[in-house]
Structure 1
């Protein structure tokens, strides 16, 4: 057996050991391959990383390391679980400043627990977000609320929906419950919305993505599972299919193309074997966006208590030349993946299940997506998913609203050739209705469901669907619409975007 002292000396980039669940691993060669970056491991170099590791990774992940890197057990009496997560909410970390509905979650250990709404009193997703903000750890808050650089894209995602007006019609019989069912990525859904892919749901609740699988199954909607889900994808699919209260729904897999491109084949094979029904290939993340809040948290959490960064005062520090940094800057994924690779992905996935591309932001790329065909004349993609990654990739990238309007103005035929889906800033049923008016088939909600499960677990996610259903029904009736299929440009005012009625 190894002692904690044996492990502690291996605390650098040149020799990095970590303890996970009482066993020691040499992760030195894996540092630059880690999707979260080397720093996320190095801050636990020579120490116990169990608490952080279990929050983020599905069970069994560590076993994928080569056997030669499994160094054995650590003596229980010498193991000290890291205190980083326990004390990072006081002296060494201050939560980023969030909007009013994303109140800061940091508080001193001596502060009384904040008073929050009970589940039944939560009337909106904003209410659920406020409850979540009072419960989230600083680590979770830094991840869930972060956006690229200035957070302009993150914030404008939400703001642009408020810039679209609605045009209600009156004296129409709206007594029957409006029809809200639609086809989402090839599968029937009770609502024109789905649970968008988002990583690290266990930051908010121990069951993580399992809460969302139950919600999709019980409320007859779709769940899209991230490659970086904190529960193993087959376990999420198993929960979805076996839930005793299941009333429908569907389950999709979101694929990031790994740095080693051929490794995508393993992920696709796993998704197929687990029963995922559609594949969404993320195309807007060849590199990871610069997310200051999340990056800053990881640096501060990596400091030992009382440690000062003496490098601040040195004038002889010589960092790498720009462009000469070790590895490829922020390259957690494959940066060579191109349109020509879609035929390979289609071959791996097969012709019998839907394949979509996620991360399209312009009319130009939407057009190109419609022009991709296999050798047998079949269109390679079955849908286009407009997204700026929740404002976490390229700051100032188009919002969902801007992307929809761009396609409407410059390539309206796209909506006739392929179904279009969107996400980004959607927190209200009226946002869903506005997106459908602009031509979207359905919309995805990522943060909204993360807030809901962080607030109340599965019950919170179920409540989120109830709230959205109520808001969509109310909006349809007040618009004088009996079926979501009737929604169109005649129901929205786009004057804020310089578009006169009837000009699209």
Structure 2
């Protein structure tokens, strides 16, 4: 295999000849520049240079093999250049943000002190690099939908039944026929290695140890094969959250790959076809620039017109190649033609589409507005669940119904189940758990939720999830007091 020096690579830093170094290997990415989901400028920032630190945290290990033809894998750096890069790494001055994270990690509380989901989030936000925190926590526009997703649970109150035998209560259920110890699954969320080096593998192993099911994102930071291999048993079910690629051949290859790897269902995401306006994520580079340059004069004129800032952020580039022309009539039959896996539609936001998903024969639907990260003022999923129960209760007989978005307590889960949901998904919460405490954080999170769900069921007078019925909850037209930390 040919070897190159750093000087040779540095000569290729234009749109007509663009080389990059990733993990001491040299790639010609010229032809890929404008096919890159995040745009060519993202790559050009590292043209002729080592891009490893920027590339590895947000790309699965097989991404280069899938996207760059073999003839563009040019060779490796020579040993002298590799040693020079090592020396640069050793002498690199830590950024203010890296120093902040170091200090936060030293002061991280013992896992035992984490008593609820919000405790976990609070710790994670302190120890995460700012870019990761901004990506995980960002929401659309003014975060109104994100906030209302959680507030909406406060409009539903219980009618507990007393003098009912509740010892030995059973929190388990089935999701698409697969047993889960609690009616909760890990919802698909991208880029877990931004928060922890083991990323999605923490979620996989934590899910196995607690008996729940993990949904894997199309945009996971580990490869689909790595996540499948991380399972602690070949019988462990994992689901796949599919962002359908605009190119049918690419989408088909992806579906066939995960089916071959043992994934058990396709959750087709339909509520994030175009990049959302996630301003915290978009502003992250500017915040970090100002944070690192505290007290130093800016090199730019404040009133100089440089055009609008890059609005894709970390998230936008992940969805820019999504198929924006999917239809009930075309897309579902097409997926059926290439896989036998059950299809769940993730991102239902109105009663009419819930019915259409049933008409299309989908095995499940997820009522979701993408965690408030896409369309502002999309109805909170718990409110949509209530509307479906009132207007089209037949939906619950025709398909399995799940919800996600701002579930923070066992009572939230129980309310959803009372109104007909089979299970609920948590995405951010599990990202925060694995970021803060790795696999142990995932296990601890499930134990918290299991305890709270069991308490809620027993307090309502039921022994198993099948006994949770709509008569046990009432929607009120006033808002409960917001949650307060004690």
TM-score (norm 2): 0.86
265-274 vs 287-296, which moves further: 287-296
8 Å CA contact 1:44, 1:302 repeated in 2: no
**Does residue 1:172 correspond to 2:178, yes or no?**
no
Pairwise CA distance, 1:183: 1.5
Quote the Cα distance in structure 1 between the aligned partners of 2:59 and 2:379: 31
Quote the Cα distance in structure 2 between the aligned partners of 1:393 and 1:418: 25
**Does residue 1:492 correspond to 2:473, yes or no?**
yes
**Does residue 1:44 correspond to 2:46, yes or no?**
yes
SS in 1 for 2:197: coil
8 Å CA contact 1:259, 1:332 repeated in 2: yes
Which residue matches 1:34?
Answer: 36
Alignment equivalent of 2:108, drawn from 107, 116, 129: 116
Quote the Cα distance in structure 1 between the aligned partners of 2:210 and 2:181: 7
Which residue matches 1:141?
Answer: 133
8 Å CA contact 2:101, 2:127 repeated in 1: no
Provide structure 2 residue ranges, at least 5 long, that are not aligned to the other structure.
310-316, 480-486
Which residue matches 2:82?
Answer: 76
Which residue matches 1:259?
Answer: 246
Quote the Cα distance in structure 2 between the aligned partners of 1:83 and 1:142: 28
Alignment equivalent of 2:100, drawn from 90, 102, 107: 107
8 Å CA contact 2:104, 2:126 repeated in 1: no
Please list, as runs of the form range in 1=range in 2, the aligned pairs for 1:392-471 lying within 5 A after superposition.
392-471=373-452
**Does residue 1:348 correspond to 2:338, yes or no?**
yes
488-497 vs 417-426, which moves further: 488-497
Which residue matches 2:70?
Answer: 67
SS in 1 for 2:53: helix
Q: 1:14 to 1:402 in 2, by over 3 A?
A: farther
Quote the Cα distance in structure 1 between the aligned partners of 2:134 and 2:343: 32
Quote the Cα distance in structure 1 between the aligned partners of 2:91 and 2:7: 17
Q: 1:472 to 1:409 in 2, by over 3 A?
A: same
Pairwise CA distance, 1:144: 0.9
Which residue matches 2:266?
Answer: 279
Which residue matches 1:369?
Answer: 357
Which residue matches 2:365?
Answer: 384
Greater helix share, 1 or 2? 2
8 Å CA contact 2:219, 2:318 repeated in 1: no
8 Å CA contact 2:204, 2:227 repeated in 1: yes
Alignment equivalent of 2:147, drawn from 155, 162, 182: 155
8 Å CA contact 1:13, 1:28 repeated in 2: yes
Which residue matches 1:501?
Answer: none
Q: 1:31 to 1:406 in 2, by over 3 A?
A: farther
TM-score (norm 1): 0.83
Q: CA RMSD of the aligned region, Å?
A: 3.1
- Measured against aligned partners, the alpha-carbon deviations of 1:374-406 in whole angstroms (never above 9, x if no partner) come to xxxxx2x11111111111122222221122123
Quote the Cα distance in structure 2 between the aligned partners of 1:268 and 1:83: 44
8 Å CA contact 1:167, 1:493 repeated in 2: yes
**Does residue 1:334 correspond to 2:327, yes or no?**
no
8 Å CA contact 2:276, 2:375 repeated in 1: yes
SS in 2 for 1:254: strand
Q: 1:234 to 1:25 in 2, by over 3 A?
A: same
Alignment equivalent of 1:296, drawn from 270, 283, 287: 283
Pairwise CA distance, 1:407: 1.8
36-45 vs 465-474, which moves further: 36-45
8 Å CA contact 1:287, 1:331 repeated in 2: yes
SS in 2 for 1:89: helix
Pairwise CA distance, 1:115: 2.9
Quote the Cα distance in structure 1 between the aligned partners of 2:111 and 2:387: 39
- Measured against aligned partners, the alpha-carbon deviations of 1:49-79 in whole angstroms (never above 9, x if no partner) come to 2123221222232223013432332322453
8 Å CA contact 1:48, 1:82 repeated in 2: no
Quote the Cα distance in structure 1 between the aligned partners of 2:108 and 2:455: 27
Q: 1:70 to 1:119 in 2, by over 3 A?
A: same
Query: Which structure is higher in RCO with an 8 Å CA cutoff and minimum separation 6?
Result: 2
